[in-house]
Structure 1
Amino acid sequence: MRVAGLVQVPVVIPVLDKTLPTVAACLDATFRTLGGVPTYCLTDNEKTVTVEHVARIAVRNPELVPIARYYGTVVRSCMPADPASKGGTEATVRIAKRDLVPTAVNLRPDYGDFAELGRRENLCVVGPSGTGKSHFCEALGQLAVEAGMTVAWFTIEDLAALIRRHRVDDSVSKAITRITRTDLILVNDIGLLPVSPDAAEGFYRLVDAAYERRSLAVSSNLHPSGFDEIMPKTLATATVDRLLHHAHVVVTQGDSHRLAEATTGRGVVPLG
């Protein structure tokens, strides 16, 4: 990929149909968000894109070909490695939202209109392992998508990989700028391990670029005030200063739901 492939930023656009004009509009919006056009686009076997298969080879919709050519890209169909499990994979976020994070219990009613995103406020979800921090953020991201917003999801090591990849051609700033075009940026699972220098740099750069411009949601085993335990103190101080200035801090408590299931025999299917 020429530009878009350099940064793994998911762009999610909720639509009411999968007609050709809608697909074309989504492609255009995605290219503009990423700031470039990929060499090719992989799609599911939608009828809008693939009209039929001949000897298991996808036949492209002839109306889509000139649209792709206009942008200088090629649209290709991909086949799932395991079609039987495909639906289950796609439903992961929906299941997490519905079953693991009951909205009425864990999400404040204020998040219904996402006013915090409009005010560029941040969210820090802090607590022990297994208390629902990642599921909380995942459900929040899903709700934002359903509200018509764009969401990007990273682990701290994703940011490290981004820094290493773009340091080679001195394009780190451009990569971070592209990420901050999304409405909500989520960084998951900080504090489990010491943060590498590249990860610390990536996290600081992201927080600094998003400060008072975009909303960040962060999940961590450590309260942000303790980030200097896992990353250089100077960098941690500057990062936390920007992160917490306009932030809501949610503290999760209780025993790990994974450990609770394991100790009660609900973590596995009985043999035999």
Structure 2
Amino acid sequence: MQTVVARAHGDPLAEALELTRRLKLPHMRKALTDLIPTAKAQRWDPAELVRVLLAEEVAGRDRANLITRRKSAGFPAGKTFGDWDEELSPIPRPTQEALKSLEWVRRRENLAIYGPSGTGKSHFCEALGHAAVEAGMIVSWFGIEDLGALVRKHRADDSIARALTRVVRSDLIIVDDIGLLPVSPDAAEGFYRLVDAAYERRAMAVSSNLAPAGFDEIMPKTIATATVDRFMHHAHRVETKGESYRLAQAASGKGVTPFR
């Protein structure tokens, strides 16, 4: 049966704009006013005009989704591979490239990156997180004590399991800066619960001043053993060595802008 398209009763462009508003096509609506004169002047095939308008809508939605995923990840500092110096990093170049490929995330494997303060652990993890977001993945970022706050928030109504179910919808979960201070009992519980919920279901990355085998120095041994056992079963280990790049920059006067 042939489809009958209703003719415009007034200004066709105004009606088209109203239709894009009703259909919730904001990016197409934004492009429509500029593209119609261009299509007329260049005598585009009608199908080409439709294709370009749909492409504008898709590209606009992709940009909006990227912004939403980046915001919901909760990254702390906005550090990406754009300001990462792979030559100065103590992580071997082949290892950097393999991790940046994100294949380990797609395989639902884990990453333990550990070493002294100032050797780029947090920067590298955050840059990996941004790369994952740009690849269309969902990422969640936590400090270790954020997990303690999560446990306390949901303890009253025993809803921590539901909260963690939402977290493990992420493709990559990053827990940063373990080992600087003793871990509170709530944070240790939250860390174990998260690792257990994500086990063989989602990829995790952990940065720490301690190797995972030393987590029992900062949290109860029973919880540490169970957590490390699950986390390290499918984990890549990366140790960063050397002196703090922050101290090196401070010593060379590069940590501040000189007075004039």
1:257 and 1:136 map into 2 onto residues whose CA distance is 13
1:1-272 residue pairs with structure 2 within 5 A?
22=61, 26=65, 93=78, 96-102=80-86, 105=93, 108-272=96-260
Q: Using the alignment, how far apart are the partners of 1:112 and 1:133 within structure 2? A: 14
Between Structure 1 and Structure 2, the one with more strand by share is 1
Question: Over residues 55-113 of structure 1, what are the superposed CA-to-partner deviations in whole Å (9 max), with x where a residue is unaligned?
Answer: xxxxxxxxxxxxxxxxxxxxxxxxxxxxxxxxxxx9x53x5421234399485332354
Structure number with the higher helix fraction is 2
Q: How many correspondences in the alignment?
A: 197
Query: What SS is found at the alignment partner of 1:108?
Result: helix
Report the aligned-residue RMSD. 3.0
Which is greater in Rg? 2
Deviation (angstroms), 1:17: 6.3
Unaligned runs of 5+ in 2: 1-54
CA change 1:223–1:138 in 2 (3 A) is same
Cα 1:247/1:271, change in 2 over 3 Å = same
Q: Distance in 2 between matches of 1:109 and 1:18?
A: 33
Q: How far off is 1:146 after superposition?
A: 1.5
- CA gap of 1:265–1:225, structure 2 versus 1, over 3 A, is same
TM-score by length of 2: 0.68
Structure-2 change in CA distance of 1:258 and 1:17 (3 Å): farther
TM-aligned CA deviation for residue 22 of structure 1: 2.8
Looking at structure 2, the residues matched to 137 and 214 of structure 1 have their Cα atoms a distance apart, in angstroms, of 16
Indicate conservation of the 8 Å contact 1:101/1:135, yes or no.
no
- Identity, in percent, stands at 60
Indicate the SS of the match to 1:98: helix
What runs of 5+ residues in structure 1 fail to find an aligned partner?
1-15, 34-89
Give the counterpart letter for 2:83 in structure 1: D
